[in-house]
């Protein structure tokens, strides 16, 4: 697990921003790919992976229901 990815679900993070989701996705792709910043010839696929993971993360956050949370 990438230690710099913070927990996004409540109550750990009361309000998750798009920037939080994107940062977590970027850290995941960096960890999996082994590249902090991709070479120019890998930039497109790297960015597509970050976008896809950010979208999946947002769907997960939108769908999670946490017991005791006021979130509906």
| pLDDT, tens only, 56-71 | 999 998 888 877 766 5
27: exposed, middle or buried (Cβ count in 10 Å: 0-12, 13-18, 19+): middle
- The total number of structural domains in the chain stands at 1
**Is residue 34 assigned to a domain?**
yes
How far apart are alpha carbons 23 and 49 in whole angstroms?
A: 13
- Token pair for residue 49? 């992976």
Domain that holds residue 41: 18-62
- Give the long-range contacts of residues 65-71, CB within 8 A, separation 24 or more: 66/9, 66/10, 66/11, 69/10, 69/11, 71/10
Is residue 35 domain-resident?
yes
Structure pTM? 0.80
The whole-angstrom separation of Cα 17 and Cα 58 is: 10
For residue 6, being part of any structural domain is answered with: no
pLDDT tens sequence for the chain (72 residues)? 456 677 887 776 678 899 999 999 999 999 999 999 999 999 999 999 999 999 999 999 888 887 776 654
């Amino acid at each position: 697990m990438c230690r710099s990815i913070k927990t996004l679900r409540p109550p750990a993070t009361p309000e998750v921003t798009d920037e939080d989701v994107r940062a977590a996705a970027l850290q995941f792709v960096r960890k999996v790919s082994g590249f902090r910043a991709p070479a120019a010839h890998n930039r497109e696929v790297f960015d597509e992976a970050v976008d896809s993971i950010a979208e999946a993360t947002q769907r997960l956050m939108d769908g999670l229901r946490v017991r005791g949370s006021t979130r509906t």
